[in-house]
Amino acid sequence: MLRHNNSGIRSPLGLAPEEVPCVQCDRREAGLAWGDFCAICREDRRRKADRTAQRYAIGAGLALGAWLIWRTPPALPQRIFGAVSVVLVYIIVRRTVSRLVQEYLPKEVR
């Protein structure tokens, strides 16, 4: 039975972790799980996902802010609640979209 992060081949001394190739760039890295990305590819995917997530989050925040300005009365407590809501929507959308894009971003061939 195959175990996670184990190739089935022991190192000669049993001390050094085996170098496993990255699923995207074939760069070998010690301690990497089979079918996982190396640190460089993972960081590249995270940057791309964060860029996309920021665009969606800004759009969602602007849409909610415009709707709240149009629909809420001009009293101070409602405006404060609306501003806090916009910030929370921005944070939640950014984290959610970033995670989804990182999961479903296709593998690039280099």
9: which residues sit within 8 A by CB, 6+ positions away?
Answer: 18
Under 8 Å between Cβ of 82 and 68: yes
Under 8 Å between Cβ of 107 and 62: no
Per-residue pLDDT at 15: 62
pLDDT digits (tens, 9 = 90+) for 78-100: 999 999 999 999 999 999 999 99
Question: 16: pLDDT confidence band, cut at 50, 70 and 90?
Answer: low
pLDDT digits (tens, 9 = 90+) for 22-39: 777 877 877 777 777 888
Domain ranges of the chain: 19-104
Q: Tokens 């101070």, residue? A: 76
Per-residue pLDDT at 93: 97
Per-residue pLDDT at 1: 43
